[in-house]
Structure 1
């Protein structure tokens, strides 16, 4: 099978992608008529950084290392596992689908590395959805935090389209992936004693309450 035949896109899919591109342009034009991009670019960039994979992974590793509270270890280890899975799934999906980012995408230094040059699915959307799923279902925070989380994830998804980083279908695909990651983590959930054991191996410290502790 030649490279050209491998890259041949079915006509139905071409029409879907064409319609997605058209609707994305219409949405961005409509959005900028209400919230001019130039005015909100700083806010959009802040949202972009707040959900980028590298800062999230770096922050969470540092958070887990510095705040080794025994009551938090299970949450920290499971979230770290989920973040790693998200990065892997997004990278594999982008490398497979290889959809180019919107033509208007500019000033995207964080998205010019490896598979991240491609558009589908949105890693920001999948990561944001997973984080909200995690803290509302897997490790539920008090309900007072639910509204800020929902506002954050909604802003993340909208900003990805408004900045022309992604098409609407990319964001929807990312949202679906984030939900699937949440479901997967329910099956892969690491119990407290196991999480403490793993943390002890990595940090070379003994944590009270672990199955190794005597």
Structure 2
């Protein structure tokens, strides 16, 4: 009897392994099946680990993880609404102040009324007001008059201190069309914000209307004087419009502070006595 022939795998079965079907192979006399699907998965994994894929994945991960332009960066690039509004207000302020500076020079459009504006400027200066309040305090015979003049003098000193502090803090330059020929200026007067004349006129105007018995025509004159002092600052080119507007508001508030710190002559004498005792 002839021995049976060993069965061999058909070549057709081995050729079909490219599609992922099992391949029959011999190892140590045994037939084993190997899956090509595992080899293709390994190849795909190696391809995914290539530098190109790694770079692409890292870039996509970085943009997704917050390395790309965030919303906060976009907000920082765009100017805020407050800054735009402030810049527009300052531009309007400079333009309007330049248009209203009609008495800044003798050859300006209203240069002929410059001497009158300078006279109004002197009436709002601090030195005449300090000298006048001191003289009235010295010449006053009644206790009520001395009390009023004393607090007016303290209010004027308070105005000088507060305006000087704000000017030194803000340090806003005077308008470019201004001519520095003011009466009795100091080092801090080279700054423009706020207008010391406007603060003084507003505070003194309220003080006079509140503590001096004035007839109706005189009260109207006080109000007109306050307005003319502020207008003269802009017409002479000394200040911008916002400097005067803020000065009026600041002087209005300063009067409230004077009323809160109101001193009588007796209270002032007691305060000076306590200071003298502490000094000794």
Specify if TM > 0.5.
Answer: yes
Number of corresponding residues: 187
C-alpha distance in structure 1 between counterparts of 2:160 and 2:258, whole Å: 14
Structure 1 runs not aligned, ≥5 long: 1-9, 202-214
How far did 1:95 drift? Answer: 0.4
Whose helix fraction is larger, Structure 1's or Structure 2's? 1
2:158 is aligned to 85
SS of equivalent residue, structure 1 residue 40: helix
Compared CA separation, residues 180 and 86, structure 1 to 2 (3 A): same
Under a length normalisation based on structure 1, what TM-score does the superposition of the two structures give?
0.77
The root-mean-square deviation of aligned C-alpha atoms, in Å, is 2.6
Compared CA separation, residues 87 and 125, structure 1 to 2 (3 A): same
Cα deviations by residue, 1:151-191 (Å, 9 ceiling, x for unpaired): 11111011100000000000001001000101111211123
Matched, 1:142 2:218: no
1:177 to 225, 247, 250: 250
Q: Which runs of 4+ in 1 moved over 6 A?
A: 198-201
C-alpha distance in structure 1 between counterparts of 2:109 and 2:192, whole Å: 23
Compared CA separation, residues 158 and 60, structure 1 to 2 (3 A): same
SS of equivalent residue, structure 1 residue 72: helix
Matched, 1:167 2:240: yes
Matched, 1:157 2:157: no
1:66 is aligned to 139
User: Rg: which structure is higher?
Assistant: 2
State whether residues 73 and 199 of structure 1, in contact with CA within 8 Å, keep that contact through their aligned partners in structure 2: no
Compared CA separation, residues 150 and 199, structure 1 to 2 (3 A): farther
1:57 to 130, 139, 148: 130
Cα deviations by residue, 1:52-93 (Å, 9 ceiling, x for unpaired): 112221232233223344331010111011100101110001
1:125 to 193, 198, 208: 198
C-alpha distance in structure 2 between counterparts of 1:155 and 1:28, whole Å: 14
Which structure has more relative contact order (CA 8 Å, sep 6+)? It is 1
Structure 2 runs not aligned, ≥5 long: 1-82, 274-280
Matched, 1:40 2:40: no
